[in-house]
A = this chain, B = another copy of it.
Amino acid sequence: MARKLKMGMVGGGRDAFIGAVHRMAAWLDGKIDLVAGAFSTNAEKSRLSGEDLGLDPKRVYPDYETMAKTEAGLPKDQRIDFVSIVTPNNAHFPVAKTFLEAGFNIVSDKPMTFDLAEAIELRGLVKKTGKVFALTHNYTGYPMVKEAREMVRKGELGKILKVVAEYPQGWLIQPSDSWRTDPNKSGASCAVGDIGTHAENLGRYITGLEIEELCAEFTTFVPGRRLEDDANMLIRYRGGAKGVLYASQISVGEENNINIRVYGTKASLEWHQEHPNELTVKYQDAPRRIFRRGNPYVSDVAKKFTRLPSGHPEAFIEAFANIYLEAARAIEAEVAGKPIPSDIDFPNVDDGVTGMAFIATAVKSAKNGAVWTKFER
């Protein structure tokens, strides 16, 4: 290893859940150092957060614009190699734009932007600047999700007929002042934007299927809330497959139960994020098979993203770190002036555009009474 990559962070101050996750994911493999940050829109909170993290105070910034400008002015061997964006949704785009234009690579939380228009603009910027842009649809970082994708690619399921993707959570059953329920910060959707988009991404990652049209029923169960906290959809995929997808934040007692079943003409598969080390494959005329992470029989791609032997479970942080590992591989190349490896495997700006189009389509369908709506492209 030549040297560790230098990471900056925007957002993720004290008490922010997702910022801490990004840091652990970055640190886990010992290849990335956090060296700078603008951790909050509140300059004092940013300063304290940097102090908690043991950073050099000179590199803890009061705002992201100052950070981008200052870091860009540092010698190349000192300045950050990339920035990790972990703010509320409405800031994703302006922060990403600022850092891209300042010459930095980016790892960003999802959904990619506030709306589809921003997403399309961002895609243009990424293409133009040639910088690395990785989007943390972290569930695709799980080895057994990659195994699932390999099975589909190899034709082991035959032709895919049906996809059932569920993402129930219960935490919004109570009124909440989370920014996720604020349309000014979150965008036009809560449940679909926050978690439905993970389910869409997961299904597409595994199957490669593209949505042709969908019918989305949104409900706001908690009085006074301004965005939906539950969304159920029927999906028609290009090529004739059908789908059921739902995202719910009022499903009491559900924690983070994203799961997917993919039904093919030859076999079907089932994966549950809360038990991520197993992938069940079902056949019509043979015993079910349980594929378990870390075994010699799994595919090379699943092995590549595996740190521990079988029976030594890996989980959320390790999967998240797999996104960072791949982003780091691309960023190392970019920093070294080399071409980005063609086999790179992380959600990119195109995935982000598709995700925002998915949200936009669902919102449009729901607003029109849950009618069938062509996928926005």
Contacts and interface: CB of A to CB of B under 8 A. Distances in A.
Given A24-B29, A252-B263, A315-B315, A372 B369 contact: yes
Interface string A74-112: 000000000000000000000000000000000000000
Contacts of A311: 169, 254-257, 273-274
Interface string A287-303: 11111101111000000
A215 B215 CA distance: 9
Nearest to A288: B290
Nearest to A3: B54
Contact of A17 (B21, B162, B217, B309): B309
Interface stretch (A38-46, A202-210, A240-248): A240-248
Contacts of A274: 277, 311, 313
Contact of A264 (B217, B252, B267): B252
Nearest to A296: B285
A34 B30 CA distance: 9
A29 B318 CA distance: 13
A71 interface: no
Contacts of A72: none
Interface in A1-35: 1-4, 17, 20-21, 23-24, 27-30, 34
A219 interface: yes
Contacts of A308: 21, 316-317
Given A230-B242, A252-B267, A274-B313, 12 more contacts: A17-B309, A21-B308, A24-B29, A27-B30, A161-B250, A215-B234, A251-B268, A252-B265, A253-B288, A255-B292, A285-B295, A313-B316
Interface of A: 1-4, 17, 20-21, 23-24, 27-30, 34, 51-54, 161-162, 164, 166, 168-171, 173-174, 215, 217, 219, 221, 230, 232-234, 236, 242-244, 246, 248, 250-257, 261, 263-268, 273-277, 281-292, 294-297, 307-318, 369-372
